[in-house]
Amino acid sequence: MAETAAGICRRCPSRDCGLCRAASSSDPTLLQGMRLGRRTVPTGADLFRQGDACGEAFNIVDGWAFLYELLEDGRRQILQFALPGDLIGFQPGERAFPFGAQALGSVEVCVVPMARLMAAARHHGELALGLACMLSNEGALAYGRLTSVGRKTAQERCASLLLELFTRLRRRAPEAPGETLRIPLTQTHIADALGLTPVHINRTLSLLRQKGVIDYGQGVFHILDPDRLLAIAGTSPAARARARGQSEWLGLH
Amino acid sequence: MAETAAGICRRCPSRDCGLCRAASSSDPTLLQGMRLGRRTVPTGADLFRQGDACGEAFNIVDGWAFLYELLEDGRRQILQFALPGDLIGFQPGERAFPFGAQALGSVEVCVVPMARLMAAARHHGELALGLACMLSNEGALAYGRLTSVGRKTAQERCASLLLELFTRLRRRAPEAPGETLRIPLTQTHIADALGLTPVHINRTLSLLRQKGVIDYGQGVFHILDPDRLLAIAGTSPAARARARGQSEWLGLH
DNA sequence: CGCGATTTTGAGCACCTTCAATCCGTGTGG
DNA sequence: CCACACGGATTGAAGGTGCTCAAAATCGCG
């Protein structure tokens, strides 16, 4: 309670991207009234679960989260990884979440009540369009993953995922060193994202390491041979265009 | 040229759903200025291709289309089926399409220039929110397919797809008879949507037919045992909620 | 009626899964 | 300080779902 909302926002790392950028570019005073407050979610805890009423969205300030769907017998599909700056849980037109969201490591989020966000968007077309851009980008990521899981081999899928994460992270942190990537995922997470088993992910990553394309250990990945990784990923020209497109979801208008 | 745009819109089957509903609920005069005109796309032709500049969106008036991504060696993933009333090619924040769209049978579309649509949305929050809802629903469908392809068996995937299509079609045409479904897809399309081979789709559908769950032939599917099909699809409670949610993407506010 | 596209069926193969055991890094308690 | 426990990574062997190759049957259509 010692600090005002405005003060916290001013120092927020997400201030200039995603939702906050959209809101403030639309109307600088918008941001103030929208946020409910910060929340810290511990490792492995759910931000929300499938079936929960969707009353609030979460802007990820620090840490990673993932969206997932569970089948009744326990099979899990990870639908998306949410990185700092991403907004999750914004499902206009839905009453209940069709998927859950879980924290990877400790995650700090900014809570935004859906009602306020929708009200603000209704009166500010620019903000609503920003949200639309964001949803469109999420959709593009989902489509990319779908192509991966539906039509690529294990090696291609692993390479594609690494490149996707690499691209998304570098965008937000251009200052960071070249080809090193700190990823808080277990091989089980990767497996559930790519529609494979942990065992097979292990064999596949080992193979890529053995080939000298990547190296990894303790949650840190090194891309030793970016060109070969790209080639293995089978990244189509179109997918590369998509990767570029993500770079600035509010850049063009 | 004999007929005015307003006249065509008045008799358009998509008038009360999707984009048109969003636009007219926001401002009844909006619709007039937005459309460029009708276009008829012949069977198998592309509405647009991966990499094309995205200058116009298409509101499907009649017929089916599908979005797809190609890998360099020809492998194809079908990302989505677009039914009458769906808007495709609306990719705010993108310059080029990351996927292509192709007509299944002869398709009639209403062409909407992106520039006009974006301009209108910027000034009408309600419209922009409607577009956001639409994108959110598309994303939900993509997530459902991702779970299917990543974590379900061939039988479960086929059942899931049939139910998805069934649900979406019935929503737009509630008057149509019970469990019969006219689907203009070849087994190859189904295979490319589900991440399987045509041969295996054939065996799987045969199995479902042999079990008495469905029957099919000549592009017409009959759902003989809906409950069993639901059970086979492994439709989670959450997915069922999602299916309901789709039903009215502008219904709640 | 005949051609091409699609569906159907068969047989062998491969990628990935399953089951299982071992190794390793970290943290905890004695 | 070490024994132990725990989660995750790694490796091996065997099996299965779905793939590939191939051919026949059927459908749609001019």
User: Does the beta carbon of B24 lie under 8 angstroms from any beta carbon of chain A?
Assistant: no
pLDDT of res. A181: 84
B186: nt with nearest C1' to CA: C6
* Yes or no, beta carbons of A143 and B251 under 8 Å apart: no
- Binning pLDDT at 50, 70 and 90, where does residue B20 land? confident
The pTM score is: 0.91
- Min mean pLDDT across A75-84, B41-50, B167-176 is at B167-176
User: Does the beta carbon of B129 lie under 8 angstroms from any beta carbon of chain A?
Assistant: yes
* pLDDT average, residue stretch B15-24: 74
pLDDT of res. A252: 26
* Yes or no, beta carbons of B70 and A236 under 8 Å apart: yes
* Yes or no, beta carbons of B238 and A71 under 8 Å apart: no
pLDDT of res. A71: 96
A210: nt with nearest C1' to CA: D10
pLDDT per position in chain A (253 positions), as tens?
Answer: 445 566 667 667 777 667 777 777 767 666 666 766 899 999 999 999 999 999 999 999 999 999 999 999 999 999 999 999 999 999 998 899 999 999 999 999 999 999 999 999 999 999 999 999 999 999 999 999 999 999 999 999 999 999 999 999 888 776 666 678 889 999 999 999 999 999 999 999 999 999 999 999 988 999 999 999 999 998 755 455 445 443 333 222 2
The reply to whether B30 has its C-beta less than 7 Å from any atom of strand D is no
Total beta-carbon pairs less than 8 A apart between chain A and chain B: 219
Among chain B residues 212-241, those with CB within 7 Å of any atom of strand D: 218-219
- CB-nearest partner of A252 from B71, B95, B136: B95
**What are phi and psi for residue A186, nearest 5 degrees?**
-85, 165
The C-alpha of B18 sits at a distance from chain A's nearest C-alpha, in angstroms, of 13
- Which nucleotides of chain C does any protein CB come within 7 A of? 5-11, 15-20, 25-26
User: Does the beta carbon of A248 lie under 8 angstroms from any beta carbon of chain B?
Assistant: yes
- Which nucleotides of chain D does any protein CB come within 7 A of? 7-13, 17-22, 27-28
User: Does the beta carbon of B239 lie under 8 angstroms from any beta carbon of chain A?
Assistant: yes
Structure tokens belonging to residue A151: 């039509």
The reply to whether A245 has its C-beta less than 7 Å from any atom of strand C is no
pLDDT of res. A236: 58
Listing DSSP states for chain A in one string gives: --S-HHHHHHT-TTTTSHHHHHHHHH-TTHHHHH--EEEEE-TT-EEE-TT-B--EEEEEEEEEEEEEEE-TTS-EEEEEEE-TT-EE---TT-SB-SSEEEEEEEEEEEEEEHHHHHHHHHH-HHHHHHHHHHHHHHHHHHHHHHHHHHH--HHHHHHHHHHHHHHHHHHH-TTS-SSEEE----HHHHHHHHTS-HHHHHHHHHHHHHTTSEEEETTEEEES-HHHHHHHHT--HHHHHHHHHHTTTTT--
The C-alpha of B34 sits at a distance from chain A's nearest C-alpha, in angstroms, of 17
User: Does the beta carbon of A213 lie under 8 angstroms from any beta carbon of chain B?
Assistant: no
* pLDDT average, residue stretch B22-39: 74
The tens digit of pLDDT for each residue in B134-160 reads 999 999 999 999 999 999 999 999 999
